[in-house]
Amino acid sequence: MKGVGKAEFKVPGGKLIRARVEVMNGKVRFVRFTGDFFMTPEEDLEELESRLIGMEADPDRAGEAVISYFKAKGTSIVGGTPEDFAHVLAMAIRSA
């Protein structure tokens, strides 16, 4: 079983966040966040994306993983919050 999910969310008063996810056999195979937000350090996004690979493709758990990653890293995000990224990823997984 393989599926591709996509979602986008315009943060009110903030920026646009998109997620594209590939799911295979119930696991996350690929994740990519894109958008016009700002993030420092920028490397954190790629690290998060690679850490999500292999996770169970469960919208809530994947969302929680996003939030705990950003919180643990102390990533600075302008135009959105860790919760916004979690929300977009959960939507993308649901649509896969």
Partner 1 sequence: MEAWRFLDLEEADGYWNMAVDEAIAKARGEGRVPNTLRFYMWRPSAVIIGFFQSVEEEVDQEECKRQGIDIVRRISGGGAVLNSSDGVFTYTIAVGGDDPRIMGGIVDSYRVLCGGLIEGLSILGLKGEFKPINDIVVGGRKISGNAQVRKYGVVLHHGTLLIDFDPHLMARVLRISEEKLRDKMLREAEERVTTIRRELGRDVSLREVRDAMFEGFKRALKVELVPGRLSRYEEELARELREKYSSPEWIYRR
Give the binding site for partner 1 (CB under 8 A). Answer: 8-10, 12, 14-16, 18, 32-42, 45, 76, 78-79
Judged by beta carbon, residue 16 or residue 55, the one nearer partner 1 is 16
What's the min distance (Å) between Cβ of 33 and partner 1?
Answer: 7
Tokens read off for 86 = 């979690």
Cβ closer to partner 1: 40 or 68?
40
Residue nearer to partner 1 on the CB measure, 62 or 77: 77
Query: Would residue 47 be called left, alpha or beta, if left means φ above 0 and alpha means ψ between -120 and 50 degrees?
Result: alpha
**Cβ(33)–Cβ(66) under 8 Å?**
no
Other residues' Cβ atoms within 10 Å of the Cβ of residue 46? 11
Closest approach of partner 1 to the CB of residue 72, in Å: 20
Residue 39 phi, psi (nearest 5): -145, 135
Q: Shortest gap between Cβ of 39 and partner 1 (angstroms)?
A: 6
